[in-house]
Amino acid sequence: MRGQRAARAQDSAQDEPRPKARARDAATPELFAQFERTRDPQLREQLILAHMNLVRYLARKFANRGEPLEDLIQVGMIGLINAIDRYDPSRGIRFATYATPTILGEIRRYFRDRGWAVKVPRRLQELSLSANKAVDELTQELDRAPTVAEIAQRLNVTEEEALEALETGELYELPSLDRDLGGDSDDSHTVLADYIGEADAEMERFERRARLSQAMSYLPERERKIKMPYTSRPVSKTTRILFPIAVTLVAGLLVPLATPLIGMLMFGNLLREAGVVERLSKAAQNELANVVTLFLGLAVGSTMTAATFLTWQTLGIIVMGLLAFALDTAGGVLFGKLMCVLSGGKFNPLIGASGISAFPMSARVVQKVGQEEDFSNFLLMHAMGANTAGQIGSVMAGGVVLALLAGA
């Protein structure tokens, strides 16, 4: 019956005169018979054009569900083509009756797969629709908003499943970041992006990785493929404990003003390697580091006014920092080439690019570039050693600068 109503609606929707439509309907079985025998593409195209109005009629049933009508017609045409290819005229069934379920199935599948902004299992989709219907019914019956328990009882599911179904309904269409959150009486233009947007912390790291990769690309392929074998050697606990102490003492003797910086860096290593203050070690790595970073950002940000920050001196410092980073990377690569020559081709010049304070990002970039040339090349541990030395050297250099400024 449903297919017959669709067929009658198809006939009534024809824009062409009634005699031509009847002549076409009479000729359709003959076209299907010829197409069944010959599979002629031209006959297939004629059949598709002859039944396009059926697709339009069925697509209009879904026109007010958030999807453009033209898209629904295109999806329905896929169902029409599949129905034409599978139709067997010898069974005596009208084509409109046969094709209607296929076309509707394609459109419903489109809504199931594409209509939701987030991929949701079909069970949750159906439960979400039932939950919304139950909310409307209970609201009318109780004259108030129903509770989750009442909705769960109506759907004969658990409260957790009912709550999940209600939350799933919010995933059908994601809110736009440009949605205006101001009320009708509010003249301010506030959008959702103002509340959830934030600066990308990875942008600076991305720029550094790009500069490192560009600098290392100038090395010949033969040098980038140099393998440096690594053998894991056990390090005693005594050595691991004495290392931060020795570094702090040497740095304090050479550059006294750098002692607070290098001392705090080595103190963290000492807490971890000692093994007797595990609670303090974890606190220093997590909670304390987060609190210090937060208060440092607040302290710097609260005093960073336009009058003191947007000056030529500040811009000069930024430019000098970028220039220093570029020269540091280039100098490391050139020194790596020198080490390659002095070692007789046993030292990979890529290691020189990790001798900067960007820890441990630069070492990872060296490992990545090395494996792009030879997947079996493992440079990470060698690069981490140079990266650690570069970090300590940067702290020492900072102390030298502080000493020079203090003397001035």
User: How many CA within 13 A on the CB side of residue 408?
Assistant: 6
For the cut 70, the answer to whether the pLDDT of residue 362 exceeds it is yes
For the cut 50, the answer to whether the pLDDT of residue 263 exceeds it is yes
Higher pLDDT, 80 or 354: 80
Kindly list the domain boundaries of the chain, sorted by start residue.
Answer: 2-114, 123-171, 204-407
Q: How confident is the model at residue 264 (pLDDT cuts 50, 70, 90)?
A: confident
Rounded Cα–Cα distance for residues 34 and 92 (Å): 15
Q: What is the pLDDT of residue 259?
A: 84
Considering Cα of 275, then 276, then 282, then 283, what sign does the dihedral take?
negative
CATH 3.40.50.620 fits 123-171, yes or no: no
Q: What is the pLDDT of residue 285?
A: 80
Place of tokens 């599979």: 39
For the cut 50, the answer to whether the pLDDT of residue 11 exceeds it is no
pTM of the model: 0.39
Of 196-205, 270-279, 337-346, the poorest mean pLDDT is in 196-205
Tokens of 370: 């090395």
| 362 in Cβ contact with 208 (< 8 Å) | yes
CATH 2.60.120.200 fits 2-114, yes or no: no
Q: How confident is the model at residue 403 (pLDDT cuts 50, 70, 90)?
A: confident
> What percent of the chain shows pLDDT beyond 70?
78
Q: What is the pLDDT of residue 26?
A: 47
* Among 13, 16, 59, 51, CA closest to 32: 51
| 124 in Cβ contact with 165 (< 8 Å) | yes
Q: How confident is the model at residue 171 (pLDDT cuts 50, 70, 90)?
A: low
Cβ-based burial of 325 (10 A; exposed 0-12, middle 13-18, buried ≥19): middle
Q: Mean pLDDT over all residues of the chain?
A: 78
Q: How confident is the model at residue 55 (pLDDT cuts 50, 70, 90)?
A: very high
Rounded Cα–Cα distance for residues 312 and 332 (Å): 30
| 127 in Cβ contact with 82 (< 8 Å) | no
Tokens of 123: 């069970």
Q: What is the mean pLDDT of residues 126-135?
A: 85
Chain CA centroid to CA 212, Å? 24
The one-letter code for the residue type at 113 is D
| 244 in Cβ contact with 273 (< 8 Å) | yes
Helical axes 52-60 vs 41-50, angle rounded to 10°: 40
